[in-house]
Structure 1
Amino acid sequence: MRNHVYDHRWRERWERKQKKRAQRLKRMQRDWNYRWRVRHRWHQRWHHQHKRFKHSLGARLIAIFFMLACASSVILWSSEGSAYGLLWAVPALLLVTGCAFGMIRHMVRPLHALALGAEAFRRGEFSHRVPVIHGDEIGDLAVRFNQMAADIQAMLDGKRALLLAISHELRSPLTRARLHAELVEEGASRDALLQELAQMRDLITSLLESERLGSGHRALQRADCDLAALVREQAQPGVALSIEPDLPVLKLDRLRVQLLLRNLLHNALRHNDGARGAVQLGLVREGAGVRLTVRDFGPGVPPAALAQLGQPFYRPDEARTRGEGGVGLGLCLCRLVAEAHGSELQLRNAEPGFEATVRFGAVD
C-alpha cells in the first residue's frame, strides 16, 4: 500500500514540535538546576556562618551588646516624646539589661564547671569529667580538659603498674640475698650487708605502700579505732604523751595510722635535741574530730625546704649528711595516709623544733 503524499510533512511538523518541546524542557531543567545550586550554596553559606556564630563566644557577646544598645536607644528615643517616659523607660531598661545579663550568664555558666574540674584535677581525681554544656570554645576546652585527664590517668596507671611490678619482682631476689648473707661469717661486713639489705627491703615496702595509697580512700580499710590507744602504744623513752580524755572513736585504717605515727615519731626522734626536751606527742579534741601533733626540739627545717617536705625522695640538706638518714619516703607516706583519710599533713617550724599536725575527722 502506498503512503499518502502529505504524510512526510505531517511527520516533519511533529518532529519539529517534539524537538522544540525537548529543548524547552532541557532549558527549564538547566534553569531549575542553576536556581537549586544557587539556593543550596546560599543555604550552605548561611549554615556555615550560623555554625561559626554559635561556636564563637565573642561573636555572641558582641551580638548581645549590640541588641542591648539598640533596645536601649529605642526605649530612650521613645520616652523623649512622652510626658511619663521615665516611668516606663527605666523599668524597660532594667528589664532589657536583666535579659542581657541572663543570656550572658547562661553562656559563661560552663566556666564554673571548668573551675570545679580544675579543682578536682588538682586533688588528683582524674576520673572526674567536665560536662560539655555548649558547643562553643568553652565546650572545646571542656573536651580537651577531659582528654587531658584521661591521658594523665593512663600515664599514672602505667607508671603505678610498672612500679608495683618492679617492686614485687625485687622482693624475691632480695629475700634470697638476705638468706645468703645470713650464712656469711659474723663480722662488720656481714652486719653492714644485712643493714643495707634491710634498707632496700624497707624502701620496696614503702614504695608499694605509697602506690597503694595513691588511690586515696579506696586503699583504706576503715573500722572503729581508738586513736588514744594507738598513741599509747608508741610510748618509749624520749617521748612525752599528752592525750586529752574522752576522745571520740573514729573510723580509721588502724594499720595506716600506725604507719603514720611510727614515721612521724622516728623522724622526730632522729632530729630531736634531748637537752631541750622530749618529743611531744599529743591528741586533742577539735570539733567532731581529733588533732594529732608531733613536735621535736631539734634544729628545724630551712624555710625554703618546707614547701617540698612530703614529696617522694626529698630530704633537706641537713638530713642527707646523717649516716642514718632515710630515703625520703617517711613524710611522703604520712602525707598520703593523711590525704587518704580526708585530712592534710601540716608541717611547720615550731621555733625551737619542728611540728607535724594531722586532723582526723569523725566523718571523712
Structure 2
Amino acid sequence: MKHHLKHELTPEELAVLKKLHRRRQEMWHQHWNRRVRHGHARFKYSLVARLIATFVLLAVLGSLIVYGAVDGHYDALWAVPLLLLVLGAAFAAVGRMIWPLRMLARAAQAYGRGDFGFRMPVLGNDEIGDLTRRFNDMATDIQAMLDGKRALLLAISHELRSPLTRARLHAELIEEGASRDALLKDLGEMRVLIEALLESERLGAGHSALQLQAVDLAALVRAQEGVDVQIEPGLPLLQLDPLRLQLLLRNLVENAKRHNDASRGPVIVSLRREGQVLLLSVRDHGPGVPAEALEHLGEPFFRPDAARTRNDGGVGLGLNLCKMIAAAHGGRLEIRNVTPGLEVTLNLPIT
C-alpha cells in the first residue's frame, strides 16, 4: 500500500515530504541537545549534585588511602593523617556549600524583628541561590507594602485632624448636659487615637525618628504626681528623646492609675540600675490580667476585656506605643503579673 502510494506522489510532493522529515530530525536533535545541556547545567549548579560528588570523592579517596596502606605502598601510620586531611577538606567544602543557609537564618531573624532592609548576597546559581533571591525579593515587596500602608495611614490621620477639630468646636457650642459630655469624651478618644496612630507610624522609622539628647530619667520620674517614687541614687544620664520618654512614662502611669486598687497600695514607679541596663518599672495593685492575655499585651488595639473593660477608657494603643518607643531607643518592654497587680518594666541599655 505504501509502495503504491509512493509512486502516486509527484516529485514535488516527495521533495516536500523529505524536507519535513529532515526538519523533524533536526528539531529532535535540537531538543535532545537542549535537554543534555540543561541537565549538565543542573548538575553543575545543583547543591544536591555537588554534595553527592563531594561524598563520592571522599569515599574514593578514603578507599585509595586505606588500600595503599594495606597494600604496603606506605606506612600505615601515614593513612591516619591523610584520612583526616581528606575529611577536613570535605568538611570545609560542605560547610562552604551550606554557609548561605546560615545567612538565610539571619535574614529570617531580621525579618522577624521587622528589619526588612536586610539583604543577603547571592553566592551561587544553585537552589540556595534561587531561594536567596526569593528572600530578597520578598523583603523588598514587604517593605514596599509597609511603606505604602504607613504613608496611607499618615495621610488619613492628618486629614482627620481638621474635621475632628471643627467637630469639637461645634460640640462646645451645644448646651451643657450628659449628651454634650459624652460627645466631647468620644471626640477626645478619637483625638487620642489619631495622635497615637501618627506617633506609632513616625516611630516605625525606628531610631531615625528620635531627637536624642542627654536626659535625666530620674527627673522625669520625680515629676510624676500621685505615685510612690523609688529611685536609686547616682544614676547616669542617657541619650534619649525626652518627649517620647515622657509620653511612655505618662501612658504607663495613667494606665496603672486607671486600674489601681488604692486600698491595696499606691502606684509604684521605680528606677534602678542592673549592670549596664537601667530599669524603669511601673506597678499597680489592681486585678492584673489573665495569664493567657499577657503575651498579647502591647499588640495594637488589644484589650484584655476580662479585667479591663472599655468603660475604663483608652483605645488599646498605649502599650503598643510604649513598646515602639522602647524599641526605638534600643530597649524593650517587659510585662508581668505581680501579687497583686501588674508591673511593666522598661529596659534601657546604658551604653
Q: TM (normalized to structure 1)? A: 0.85
Distance in 2 (CA, whole Å) between partners of 1:179 and 1:256 is 28
Task: Determine which of 301, 318, 321 is the counterpart of 1:333.
Answer: 321
Match for residue 306 of structure 2? 318
Matched, 1:109 2:99: yes
CA drift of 1:353 comes to: 1.2
Cα pair 2:279 2:347 within 8 Å, conserved: yes
Are 2:236 and 1:230 aligned?
no
Does 2:44 match 1:54? yes
Which deviates more, 47-56 or 354-363?
Answer: 47-56
What is the DSSP-based 3-state SS (H/G/I as helix, E as strand, rest coil) of the residue aligned with 1:169?
helix
2:180 pairs with one of 182, 185, 190:
190
Matched, 1:256 2:244: yes
Question: Structure 1 residue 270 and structure 2 residue 258: aligned?
Answer: yes
- 1:241 partnered with 2:229: yes
Amino acid aligned to 2:293: A
Partner of 1:156: 146
TM alignment of 1:3-152, pairs within 5 A: 47-82=37-72, 85-152=75-142
1:347 equivalenced with 2:335 (yes/no)? yes
Verify the 8 A CA contact 2:329 2:348 in the aligned structure 1: yes
C-alpha displacement of 1:55: 2.5
Question: Deviations 1:182-227 (Å, cap 9, x if unpaired)?
Answer: 1111222211111111111111001101111112111111111000
Letter in 2 for 1:245: P
Conserved 8 A contact 1:279-1:297: yes
Identity of aligned residues (%): 61
SS state at 1:318 partner: coil
Residues 54-98 of structure 1: CA distance to partner in whole angstroms, max 9, x if unpaired?
321111111111111111111111111218532111111111111
> Which consecutive unaligned segments of at least 5 residues does structure 1 have?
1-36
Cα distance, 1:348 vs structure 2: 0.6
| SS state at 1:246 partner | coil
Query: Residue 46 of structure 1: CA displacement?
Result: 5.9
Partner residue, 1:179? 169
How much does 1:318 deviate?
A: 2.6
Cα distance in 1 for residues equivalent to 2:61 and 2:129: 30
Q: Does structure 2 conserve the Cα–Cα contact (< 8 Å) formed by 1:248 and 1:289?
A: no
The one-character-per-residue Cα deviations of 1:249-298 (angstroms, maximum 9, x if unpaired) are: 00000000001101111111111111111111000012233110111111
- Whether the 8 Å contact between 1:129 and 1:146 is mirrored in structure 2 is yes
Q: How many residue pairs end up in the alignment?
A: 325
Deviations 1:71-128 (Å, cap 9, x if unpaired)? 1111111111218532111111111111111110111111111111111111111111
The more displaced of 314-323 and 339-348 is 314-323
Instruction: Name the CA shift for 1:330/1:190 in 2 (closer, same or farther; >3 Å).
Output: same
Letter in 1 for 2:89: C
Find out whether 1:283 has 2:271 as its counterpart: yes
Instruction: Compute the RMSD of aligned alpha carbons.
Output: 2.0
Q: 1:47, CA displacement in angstroms?
A: 4.3
**For 2:300 and 2:323, how far apart are their aligned partners in 1?**
10
**Deviations, residues 141-198 of structure 1 (Å, cap 9, x unaligned):** 1101011101111111111111111111111111111111111112222111111111
Moved more, 244-253 or 84-93: 84-93
Structure 2 distance, partners of 1:160, 1:40, is 53
CA contact (8 A) 1:242 1:281 kept: yes
Query: Secondary structure at 1:317's aligned position in 2?
Result: coil
SS in 1 for 2:253: helix
The structure with the larger Rg is 1
> Are residues 266 and 53 of structure 1, via their aligned partners in 2, closer, same or farther at CA, if it must alter by over 3 Å?
same
- Cα distance in structure 1, aligned partners of 2:36 and 2:139: 36
> 1:38 and 1:208, CA in 2 relative to 1: closer, same or farther beyond 3 A?
closer
Please say if residues 250 and 362 of structure 1, whose CA atoms lie closer than 8 Å, have aligned partners that are also in contact: yes
Distance 2:90 2:30 in 1: 34
Give the CA deviation at 1:319. Answer: 4.6
Q: Equivalent residue for 2:285?
A: 297
Does the 8 Å CA contact 1:56/1:136 hold for their aligned counterparts?
Answer: yes
What SS does the corresponding residue of 1:191 show, helix, strand or coil? helix
AA matched with 2:124: H
TM-score, normalised with respect to structure 2 = 0.88
**Secondary structure at 1:140 match in 2:** helix
